[in-house]
Structure 1
Amino acid sequence: MGLFRLLFWVAVIAAAIWLWRRLSRPAQRPTPKPDNTVPMVRCAHCGVHVPREHALHQNQQWFCSQAHLEQGAKHGDR
């Protein structure tokens, strides 16, 4: 009976300490992460996606490099 009483009081003290620590801390609000996504475009020649600021534009099509711009868009199953 003495062991049960000891375990009971240990559990009560542990719960009280946990509750006190939880209530004494200020509530932490999750900080919203900045939206730093970059618009991507698909190369009309090879299909690779590149950031729009690095892509080359011609005739409403985007290209990943000068070589692909010169070769033009591939016509096919893409």
Structure 2
Amino acid sequence: MKYLLLILLLALLVFLLGVKRARPPRRAKPPAAPRGPQPMLSCARCGLHLPRDEALPGRGGVFCSAAHRAAYEAEHGGAP
């Protein structure tokens, strides 16, 4: 009889721990609102289209990476 009571208590403990872990966090952050559409710009070196927020400005326009900006400015005499 003692063993049956012990097994029941252990089963109850395991069940309660499992239920507690399965719950979502109490203060879950609301999902971020999707941003609106952005204008797409074209890289002056390779022509890749990318959102305005990701474009790097340079002397010859906008670029998709710092390497493309440096290469374009070196080719067109824009580097000091």
**Shorter-chain TM-score range:** 0.3 to 0.5
Q: Looking at CA atoms only, which structure, 1 or 2, has the larger radius of gyration?
A: 1
More helix by share: 2
**Length-normalised TM-score, structure 1:** 0.45
- Structure number with greater CO (CA < 8 Å, separation at least 6) is 1
TM-score, structure 2 normalization? 0.44
